[in-house]
């Protein structure tokens, strides 16, 4: 694979529209479920501006112009303490919440579907993989494929009717045990519709991990990256 670009080529012709850090201070929402104050309460959302969050995006190799299209800066209360994180909204109005030291979500939990009015859909486990996809494709003028961000693999099977409204489903799931299991499950459903694209970030946990390790090569490349 060309180390400067990442290209997905569906096996059949496509239309013109074809297309973690963890340390001892990191904590997760819901760890203290017995605490009656253990429910996330969103108090504000606004444009991304916090220096620490911008540094976190930079560390994850996501340009601000990409992140601010889909994310916002969110304040929430948890266990009586205020936190400020990056928020990625789902279709039901809840948020996926991330920062250097926090990973969680607010209710209601749901998928995020981005309809670009194409026949294909790319399916992501988490929103940083989706933001990485947008980053790699940011120099393209053609419309990107539709995008489905599951926000949890618990929504994978429930999302099957939505996925199968599309001609081709490009699976860009994590390369861990759970991600591989769900990818294989989809291939059993219909090998003519579902396509595993995780080989393009082989030896990496997910697409964002691939981007972090290849960001320098992408920036030096004279050609834009291409996904799908």
Does 101 share its domain with 162?
no
Model confidence at 26, pLDDT cuts 50, 70, 90, reads: very low
Residues 44 and 87 occupy one common structural domain: yes
Counting the structural domains of the chain, the total is: 2
Based on the fold, state whether residues 119 and 216 are members of the same structural domain.
yes
This prediction has a pTM of 0.82
Q: What is the pLDDT of residue 38?
A: 76
Instruction: Judge if 203 and 121 occupy the same domain.
Output: yes
Domain that includes residue 172, residue range? 112-220
* pLDDT for the residue numbered 106: 96
What is the structure's pLDDT at 20? 35
Is 70 a residue whose pLDDT tops 70? Answer: yes
| Token couple for 104 | 């969680």
My answer on whether 101 and 117 are in the same domain is no
Report the CATH number at residue 129: 3.40.1360.10
Instruction: Answer whether residue 64 shows pLDDT above 70.
Output: yes
CA angle 68, 108, 123 (to 5 degrees): 60
Establish if 154 belongs to a structural domain. yes
- With a cut of 80, say whether residue 223 has pLDDT above it: no
Q: Is residue 128 part of a domain?
A: yes
* Dihedral Cα 131, 70, 181, 227, nearest 10 deg: -40
Question: Residue 74: inside a domain, yes or no?
Answer: yes
pLDDT over 50 (residue 22): no
In a domain, 18, yes or no: no
Same domain for 118 and 213, yes or no, is yes
* Spatial separation of the C-alpha atoms in residues 183 and 206, rounded to whole Å: 13
pLDDT digits (tens, 9 = 90+) for 72-115: 999 999 999 999 999 999 999 999 999 999 999 999 999 999 99
| Average pLDDT score over residue span 156-167 | 97
Boundary of a domain, candidates 56, 77, 105: 105
Residues 126 and 95 in one domain: no
190, 115, 174, 54 alpha-carbon torsion, rounded to 10°: 180
When the pLDDT of each residue in the chain is averaged and rounded to a whole number, the result is 84
pLDDT at 158 over 60: yes
pLDDT of residue 228: 64
Residue appearing with tokens 């969110």: 74
Question: Could you tell me if 58 and 93 lie in one domain?
Answer: yes
* Residue where one domain finishes, among candidates 52, 72, 105: 105
Where is the domain boundary, 52, 79, 105?
105
Tell me: the pLDDT tens digits for 170-200?
Answer: 999 999 999 999 999 999 999 999 999 999 9
Residue 4 is assigned to a structural domain of this protein: no
Structure tokens at 224: 């834009």
Average pLDDT over residues 59-69: 96
Residue 117 lies in a domain: yes
Pairing of strands 120-124, 146-149: parallel
Task: Tell whether 138 and 83 lie within a shared domain.
Answer: no
Q: Are residues 140 and 209 in the same domain?
A: yes
Co-location of 152 and 94 in the same domain: no
Structure confidence by residue, pLDDT tens digits, 194-220: 999 999 999 899 999 999 999 866 665
Q: In the prediction, which pLDDT does 118 show?
A: 95
The answer to the question of residue 12 being in a domain is no
Please tell me the predicted confidence (pLDDT) of residue 37. 62
């Amino acid at each position: 694979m060309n180390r400067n670009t990442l290209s997905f080529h569906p096996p059949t012709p496509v239309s013109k529209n074809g297309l973690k850090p963890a340390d001892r201070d990191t904590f997760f929402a819901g760890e203290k479920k017995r605490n009656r104050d253990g429910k996330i309460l969103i108090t504000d959302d606004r444009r991304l501006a916090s220096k620490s969050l911008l540094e976190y995006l930079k560390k994850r190799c996501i340009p601000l112009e990409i992140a601010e299209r889909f994310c916002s800066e969110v304040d929430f209360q948890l266990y009586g303490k205020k936190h400020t994180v990056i928020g990625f909204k789902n279709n039901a109005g809840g948020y996926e919440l991330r920062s250097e030291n926090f990973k969680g979500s607010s209710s209601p939990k749901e998928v995020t579907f981005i309809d670009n009015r194409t026949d294909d859909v790319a399916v992501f486990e988490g929103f940083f993989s989706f933001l990485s996809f947008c980053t790699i494709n940011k120099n393209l003028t053609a419309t990107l494929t539709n995008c489905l961000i599951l926000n949890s693999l618990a929504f994978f099977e429930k999302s099957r009717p939505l996925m199968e409204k599309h001609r081709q489903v490009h699976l860009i799931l994590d390369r861990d045990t759970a991600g591989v299991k769900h990818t294989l499950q989809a291939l059993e459903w219909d090998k003519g519709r579902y396509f595993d694209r995780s080989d393009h970030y082989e030896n990496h946990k997910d697409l964002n991990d691939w981007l972090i390790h290849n960001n320098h090569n992408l920036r030096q490349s004279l050609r834009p990256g291409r996904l799908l």
